[in-house]
């Protein structure tokens, strides 16, 4: 978990790749919320967002979905802005769908779920901000 190579690989900053896809669980419409401005930053840097929030229909110009299972694609990264108690169910859905990369935002920790994800072959970054890591690693 949180291996530097995994972080670089997930963000695609070590190679010239097509924009990556990120399913953002808990993406809020409120611009003052971290889920909103962090996701907006990632979108501005070429990542295609797939919001996961059953209480809204659209955010940041993208259609919102009720769950990972409802997505039209398999995202490269599942980025989570939910409380730790919700992580196990997210991991279950990721395992069922065969999704490869879980990113759990800064301040959100569920080690049991992270260990289960890794045991199932999912790469995990936890308690790190995807925007901060991208800013640090992206070529200038």
Structure confidence by residue, pLDDT tens digits, 82-120: 999 999 999 999 999 999 999 999 999 999 999 999 999
Please tell me what DSSP assigns to residue 14.
Answer: S
Helix (H) or strand (E) holding 40: helix 34-44
High-pLDDT (> 90) share of the chain, %: 79
Hey, what are 49's tokens?
């967002």
Q: Which token pair is 35? A: 């889920």
Instruction: Please list, in sequence order, all residues whose beta carbon lies within 8 angstroms of the beta carbon of residue 74, skipping any fewer than 6 positions away.
Output: 97, 98, 99
Average pLDDT of the chain, as a whole number: 92
What number is the average pLDDT over the span 44-69? 96
Tell me the mean pLDDT in the region 33-55.
96
CATH of 4-73+86-137, one of 3.30.830.10, 3.40.50.720, 2.30.30.60, 1.10.3720.10: 3.40.50.720
More confident of the two residues 67 and 13: 67
Task: Tell me the C-alpha distance between 74 and 69, whole Å.
Answer: 9
Please say whether the beta carbons of 60 and 51 come within 8 A.
Answer: yes
Per residue in 97-107, is it b (16+ CB within 10 Å) or e — as a string? Answer: eebbbbbbbbe
Beta bridge partners of 116: none
The token pair that represents 18 in the structure block: 């097509």
The helix/strand/coil state of 24 is: strand
Average pLDDT, stretch 15-27?
80
Domain ranges of the chain: 4-73+86-137
């Amino acid at each position: 978990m949180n291996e530097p190579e995994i972080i670089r690989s997930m963000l695609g900053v070590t190679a010239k790749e097509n924009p990556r896809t990120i399913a953002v669980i808990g993406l809020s419409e409120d611009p003052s919320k971290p889920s909103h401005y962090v996701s907006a930053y990632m979108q501005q840097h070429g990542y295609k967002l797939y919001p996961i929030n059953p209480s809204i229909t659209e955010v940041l110009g993208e259609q919102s979905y009720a769950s990972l299972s409802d997505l039209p694609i398999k995202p490269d990264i599942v980025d989570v802005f939910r409380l730790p108690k919700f992580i196990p169910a997210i991991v279950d859905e990721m395992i069922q769908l065969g999704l490869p990369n879980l990113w759990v935002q800064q301040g959100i920790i569920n080690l049991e779920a992270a260990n289960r994800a890794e045991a199932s072959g999912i790469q995990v970054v936890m308690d790190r901000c995807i925007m901060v890591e991208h800013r640090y690693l992206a070529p200038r």
